[in-house]
Amino acid sequence: MSILAKIAEIENEMARTQKNKATAHHLGLLKARLAKLKRELITPKGGTGGGTGEGFDVAKTGDARVGFVGFPSVGKSTLLSNLAGVYSEVAAYEFTTLTTVPGVIRYKGAKIQLLDLPGIIEGAKDGKGRGRQVIAVARTCNLILIVLDVLKPLLHKRLIEHELEGFGIRLNKQPPNIGFKKKDKGGINFTATCAQSELDGDTVKTILAEYKIHNADITLRSDVTADDLIDVVEGNRVYIPCIYVLNKIDQISIEELDVIYKVPHCVPISAHHRWNFDDLLEKMWDYLQLVRIYTKPKGQLPDYTSPVVLPDGRTSVEDFCLKIHKNLIKELKYALVWGSSVKHNPQKVGKDHVMEDEDVIQLVKK
């Protein structure tokens, strides 16, 4: 029996099962089995499987990476060409783009790499089309733009989300607040710090037994579902912010546009007419959460043209030094920082000081 047939069988059984307290245990077990089968589908057993498709392994350049995901012929290539000035083949038939086309834009001093990925078709996560490679590249992005046709958005949105979820990509979500630690002995130690609506000790043990884990500490710090627990146990999930780009707004009325503007994580644009690009770029900048640090050589004015760009959460002086060169941290005596992260301008700080956006730094060597 093939993996796909097994997956279909489990999905059918889940659809037939009523959801209530008595069946929660059984459904948790089925969900765990399903997650295991899906993982096997993504990473086939026995070596690495087939090599990656040509042109998919794009070198990561710049400070952040943004991937365009969408069905064929929704205007991904037009959007890339008009944003980055890169020629990605554009035509009115489906599947024009067959490999990943990279482009780079400079925005607020940061270099952002844009990737035009080939169109995803339904069933991509099951290895149809070039889907598997497309989604593998999407996993490495810092931000995903789902490009939708404004005339049929909801159907496409649901299908693409389903494909990406099946590949372990979670959009606009935070990792579940679950502590999970494997041990050598001592059985399953289960604690919940707040009331749980779905999981109880037995269900947790069933799910872990399916993964052949019989000794572990599990702490649930918020009300979580069986899917969240499976995500933590699998451990290969990536949490990526996502913006829905509704293209071709030149084909709808103003009233419809007002409705679209109220949808969260959503930017309406027209790639062909270049409408609303500034709004899209501003939203991309918000979601990427990049921090710009300006450098100041001793006795000179700060260089405001080319900042060092760091990802949010890794903005200490040490991270800054490592971004420039790994030997720099050994020679560092202290740093002088001007900006919003310090009380005095300038302030003498050590390597653990965390900087904020648009700070100015001067390094003093030993």
Q: What is the pLDDT of residues 161-194, one digit of tens each?
A: 877 777 778 888 888 888 888 888 888 888 888 8
State which amino acid sits at residue 324.
Answer: I
| Pairing relationship of beta strands 143-149 and 242-247 according to DSSP bridges | parallel
Please name the CATH architecture into which domain 64-172+238-287 falls.
Answer: 3-Layer(aba) Sandwich (3.40)
Q: What is the pLDDT of residues 129-173, one digit of tens each?
A: 555 666 777 778 888 888 887 777 677 788 888 777 777 788 888
Is the backbone peptide bond immediately before 346 cis, with ω within 30 degrees of 0? yes
| Pairing relationship of beta strands 64-69 and 143-149 according to DSSP bridges | parallel
Q: What is the pLDDT of residues 40-71, one digit of tens each?
A: 776 655 544 444 444 456 777 778 888 887 77
Domain boundaries, the chain: 3-42+176-234, 64-172+238-287, 291-365
* 236-246 burial: b if 16+ Cβ within 10 Å, else e: ebeebbbbbbb
Enter the tokens of residue 353.
């000081």
CA distance 354 to 349: 9
* Residue 89 binned pLDDT confidence (cut-offs 50, 70, 90): low
- What lies within 8 Å, CB to CB, of 26 at 6+ separation is 17
> Is the model's pLDDT at 87 over the cut of 60?
no
Q: How open is the CA angle 55-157-107, to the nearest 5 degrees?
A: 60
Rg, the chain, Cα only: 24
Residue tagged 């006795």 (tokens) = 299
Instruction: Specify which residues 268 forms β-bridges with.
Output: 246
CA distance 360 to 345: 10
Instruction: Specify which residues 81 forms β-bridges with.
Output: none
Residue tagged 């707040």 (tokens) = 194
CA distance 308 to 330: 19
Angle of helix 21-42 relative to helix 201-210, nearest 10 degrees, comes to 20
Is CATH 3.10.20.30 what the domain over 291-365 is classified as, yes or no? yes
How big, in percent rounded to 5, are the helix, strand and coil portions of the chain?
Answer: 35, 25, 40
Enter the tokens of residue 263.
């949808």
Side-chain-facing half-sphere of 127: CA atoms under 13 Å = 12
Run of H or E residues at 124: none
CA distance 249 to 26: 46
Q: 177 exposed, middle or buried (CB, 10 Å; 0-12, 13-18, 19+)?
A: middle
| Pairing relationship of beta strands 101-107 and 110-116 according to DSSP bridges | antiparallel
Task: List phi, psi (to 5°) of 220.
Answer: -100, 115
Claim: this prediction has a pTM higher than 0.85:
no
What number of other Cβ atoms are within 10 A of residue 150's Cβ? 21
Percentage of the chain with pLDDT > 70?
Answer: 84
Query: What pLDDT sits at residue 281?
Result: 86
| 311 neighbors 291 (Cβ within 8 angstroms) | yes
Query: What pLDDT sits at residue 178?
Result: 84
CA distance 65 to 300: 33
CA distance 90 to 34: 38
CA distance 75 to 91: 9
Q: What is the pLDDT of residues 222-255, one digit of tens each?
A: 888 888 888 888 777 888 888 888 888 777 777 7
Cα dihedral value 119, 120, 122, 123, nearest 10: 140
Question: What integer best gives the mean pLDDT of the chain?
Answer: 78
Local structure of residue 20 (DSSP, 8 states): S
Query: What pLDDT sits at residue 38?
Result: 76
Instruction: Specify which residues 190 forms β-bridges with.
Output: 218
Q: For residue 137, which of 108, 101, 171, 172 has the smallest C-alpha distance? A: 101
